[in-house]
Structures are given as structure tokens and as C-alpha cells.
Amino acid sequence: MLKYQEVATKIQQAIYEHNLPKDTQLPNIEGLIQQYQVSRSTIIKALNRLERHGVIYQIQGSGIFVRQPKKRGYLNFLESHGFTVDLNDLPGASQVFNVDVVQPSAKVRENLHCEDDEQVYYIKRLRLVEGKVYGFEQSYYRKKIVTYLNREIAENSIFSYVKDICKINIGFSDKYFKAIKLDEEIAPYLGLNPGDPALCVEEIFYTTAGEPFDFSQIIYHYDNAQFYVQSHSK
Amino acid sequence: MLKYQEVATKIQQAIYEHNLPKDTQLPNIEGLIQQYQVSRSTIIKALNRLERHGVIYQIQGSGIFVRQPKKRGYLNFLESHGFTVDLNDLPGASQVFNVDVVQPSAKVRENLHCEDDEQVYYIKRLRLVEGKVYGFEQSYYRKKIVTYLNREIAENSIFSYVKDICKINIGFSDKYFKAIKLDEEIAPYLGLNPGDPALCVEEIFYTTAGEPFDFSQIIYHYDNAQFYVQSHSK
């Protein structure tokens, strides 16, 4: 973690630990330099990060203020691969159905830019929060990049494993989503009926080198899973 | 528009005009300084903006590359208030039902932090793209901030009007969303049946000074409206 990220995390923790309400004014830049004993440019980078992440807003010439904290029980849509990270106020779990090595379908191959004879890990699991079904996930990892996966890893955070153990740098992702009608195959996994609504999210994750390594489809329970996004015009 | 934003826009236009495919390498920073005749720090800011907006990715020590451009027909979820801006490859329109001044409901008052006797503009409209219904929108603007609105404005872009005519600086927004089952009231607007799926998005927009001025609820047609988000781990 870079210095400015560390400082950003500390400022964010301070806000959440003290439950600072929206519009609370934080110390100015000079004050933060004193408090965290880092350079001005580190503080500015940290503040810009917190602004992008929806934690604070800055008014030129006036100060730094706390933004509305996220509502409990809402998933941060931009960090939803961090299921466990994001729902750290709620206990999450995964029920894993399979972890298999397979030949990818045409759709998976296209999304992951697979070569002809390439194999992928195929993982099917149910995501649960406080015992409630949040979503049904099918994900595909390129074996040439994520060389090993097993059930135990899939029961916890695959992304923590990919980052911390495989040392893969996760760079960016493309997400596509829409509301859908559940079909007969998926509905039972969510305890719903065919025809019921769901949110279908497909996402491709790339390494920092721009190589796609994971394609996931999650179908979210329409009543249990709700999301928030904090955006900033900058 | 600030200098770095202008340069970012020019670089983005160049990528889209030439239809540069994913992973195309752009000139390095020195080359871009030459090309756009601006300072190094302006180029760096412009590149960071493009990276955040999902247009490029940068590999340390290796270069600057084009990201996958968005798929045609998908709405950019983070810029969806820019309906007209975002769908500039498709002709969009609004069918306005009413533009009224009303006393806000408790829900609207809470989301907009209204004072007791405050009034709001209430606008109900259908959003269309290429003649297809995308979504049914109900939005509420605080009259003390957006002092005047009419049907003609609502038929075009309220946000352009708010920015360019009212000179309100739009700072950030909080978005909350989930899949829902359509009820009997809303379904006919979308040409769908009660019980059909939809994506319900509620959003609160704030000025750069942190004051909420618009609360909108859009219910999107599950088959016509699809979205994308490009995110970056930074």
C-alpha cells in the first residue's frame, strides 16, 4: 500500500469510528499534515482518493467535509468483488457447488480473450449474507493466470487469494448489468420463482497490465440485494 | 472547463474518432506534451482523468493503452443524469407529463434535507431512446436552489439548464438501486405488466457545496435499458 493510500485509510477509519455525521468539517490540510506527519502532496493525494471514493467532499477555500456514509446493508457496487470486504458490517459466506477446470464456452472465451486450447477454472457458488441468499455466481478464471484454485479458497475470498497469494495486480474492470426475469434453471438457487425479477451483473476483471483474468456473472436476489454508488463529478 | 479536462476530452475524441482498438498504445507523456503543447502536470492530470473514466490504462514504465470502448446501446451508469450526453450515439427524447410546484412528501423531504415549508418542482417524464421506452422518471428539485423550471426545459436536459443557466455547480451524487417487481401504477408507463422486472434507481444530487438539490427515481425497462460501469482499482 502506498503512503497516501495508508493515510486515506486512516482518515476514513477515523470518520467511521467516530461516526462523524454528514457535513462535519475535518481539519484543514495544515492540520492533517501535522496529524499524520506526512508531506502536503501525500495529504492532497489521500484527500482526492477519499473524494473519489465518496467519503468526503472538498469546497475550494472553505474546507473538507464528511459525506453521507453508506447505508447499512447496501453493497458498494463499485467494489462488489470485495463481497467480504464490503459487507464487513454483516457476516457473509459462500456456498460452493463446484470448482472445475473446463474448456470455456464461446462467450467466456470472447470475454477473457482466451486462446484456442486454453482452460479456465469454473466456479459456481451462492453468496450469502446473514444467512440470506444475495446472489448466484458463476465465475471463470484463466488457468494460465490463476494457476490454482480449490473449494476452500472459493469458500472464502478468491480475490484476496488472487492478490495476496498469486500476487496478481488487479487493475480495472468492465461491468455490464440489467434487470432480468429469472429462468427455471437459476430461480431455485435464489429460492424464487421463474419470472421473478433479478439483477444480472457481468464483469470482466483485468490485471494492471490490461490482461483479462476473470469473467463473472452474478444474479442477485431482487429483494435481498441492494446497491449504492457514490459518484463525484471530477 | 479546466485545461487538463480540455486535453482529456481531446485525447478521448482522438481515440474514438480513429476507432482505436483495445490495447492500442498511445504516445508517451513526452509525445503528448509535444502534441498538445501543455505542461507535464496537465498531461498527467488529463491521463489520470481518462484512466478514472475507463478510457485508457497506464502500465508503469511501459506506456499508455486504450481500454475497451463502451458497448453501443449501454448507458454509462455513473453518468446517467447525462442521458442526452451519454447516448449521443443514439437519439434520446423525453415525454413530459407534468412540471408542478408541490409540497414534498416525507421521503423527498428527508432525501433533500428540506425545511418545513419548502417547495419542490415535481417532474414526471418518460425517457425514450430511438422511440423505445427506457425509463419512467420522477424527480424533485428544491425550488430555493433551482428557482425556475418548465416543460420545455424538462423536454430537453434539465441538468444542462441547471449547470449552464442556473450556474449551479454539480458536485456529487448518492445512488441507490435494486431490481424490483413492477406495480400496477408504473407498469403501463413502460408498456409492461405488473410483476415484470425493472431496475429502480434512486439518486440524490448535491452541489459542490454539499447541498442536496435533486432527488430522482428512475424505473428502467428491464429489456430496453442496460448499463455499464468501468471501474479502476486506484
- pLDDT class of A81 with cuts at 50, 70, 90: low
Q: Which fold has domain B74-228?
A: Chorismate lyase (3.40.1410)
In chain B, which residue's Cα lies nearest the Cα of A228?
Answer: B176
In chain A, which residue's Cα lies nearest the Cα of B63?
Answer: A209
Distance from CA of A155 to the nearest CA of B (A): 23
Q: Is the pLDDT of residue A65 over 90?
A: yes
A&B contacts, CB < 8 Å: 142
| Burial label, A106 (beta-carbon count in 10 A; 0-12, 13-18, 19+) | exposed
Residues of A in contact with B225 (CB under 8 A): 178
pLDDT at A61: 81
In chain A, which residue's Cα lies nearest the Cα of B208?
Answer: A59
Three-class SS of A74-136 = EEEHHHHHHHHHHCCCCCEEEEEEEEEEECCCHHHHHHHCCCCCCCEEEEEEEEEECCEEEEE
SS3 state of residue A29: helix
In chain B, which residue's Cα lies nearest the Cα of A50?
Answer: B234
Q: Are B190 and B180 in contact, with CB atoms under 8 Å apart?
A: no
pLDDT at A89: 47
- pLDDT class of A114 with cuts at 50, 70, 90: very high
pLDDT at A88: 46
ipTM confidence: 0.85
Least confident window among B16-25, B86-95, B152-161: B86-95
Q: Tell me which residue in A22, A172, A231 faces B78 most closely, judged by beta carbons.
A: A231
Distance from CA of A198 to the nearest CA of B (A): 6
Q: Does B228 sit within 8 Å of A176, measured CB to CB? A: yes
pLDDT at A234: 52
How does the average pLDDT of chain A come out, rounded? 89
Q: Is the pLDDT of residue A57 over 70?
A: yes
Q: Is the pLDDT of residue B82 over 80?
A: no
Residues of B in contact with A222 (CB under 8 A): 178-181, 197
Q: Does A68 sit within 8 Å of B175, measured CB to CB? A: no
User: Buried b vs exposed e over A210-224: b needs ≥16 C-beta within 10 Å?
Assistant: bbbbbbbbbbbbbbb
Rounded to whole angstroms, the Cα distance separating A121 from B41 reads: 43
Rounded mean pLDDT, B140-153:
96
- For chain B, what are the domain ranges? 3-66, 74-228
Q: Would you give the distance in Å from CA A114 to the centre of its chain?
A: 24
Rounded mean pLDDT, B10-16:
89
C-alpha cell at A165: 497469494
- pLDDT class of B89 with cuts at 50, 70, 90: very low
Q: Tell me which residue in B59, B179, B206 faces A209 most closely, judged by beta carbons.
A: B59
Q: Tell me which residue in A57, A171, A174 faces B233 most closely, judged by beta carbons.
A: A171
| CATH 3.40.190.10 matches B3-66 | no
Q: What is the largest CA-CA distance in chain A?
A: 60
